[in-house]
Amino acid sequence: MAHVKVSTTDLTVEFSRYEGLWLRRDALTVPLAAVLRAVPVDAPLQAAYGTRKGIEISGFTKIGVWGLVKGPRRLVVAYRNRPGLLLTLDRAVTGQEYDELVLSLDEAREVCRLIEQRQESN
């Protein structure tokens, strides 16, 4: 499962080796200024829909990029029975190809609070 680190200026998502194989990256770092919204979600699997590039094991896991044809483009690492985090990003600020990140994350609520605190202090 992905691991999130929040510094005073950046948010870094580190992916497991398995996730990294499907995403073709070990980590993703975005400036906190690029995070427009951070929301905990109970069912992150449902937040990913549309055309995809990645793996989907129906009802169990989704890893990859969703929304290829019709946006928003989402980087997704989601698992069944795990709470999650939905981050809406400003692509112009990130320089990345993603509008949203959908992550299964047990500490999603705490990460949301931390993002808000860090953004307020900057």
Please answer whether residues 17 and 27 qualify as being in contact, where contact means their C-beta atoms are separated by less than 8 angstroms: no
Entry pTM: 0.92
CB count in 10 Å sphere of residue 28: 18
SS3 assignment, position 19: helix
CA atoms within 13 A on the CB side of 110: 7
Task: Decide: 6 and 114 in contact? Cβ < 8 Å.
Answer: yes
Task: Please say whether the beta carbons of 65 and 53 come within 8 A.
Answer: yes
Yes or no: say if 43 and 63 are a contact pair by the CB < 8 Å rule: no
pLDDT digits (tens, 9 = 90+) for 13-41: 999 999 999 999 999 999 999 999 999 99
- Express each pLDDT in 48-97 by its tens digit: 888 999 999 998 999 999 998 887 999 999 999 999 999 999 998 988 89
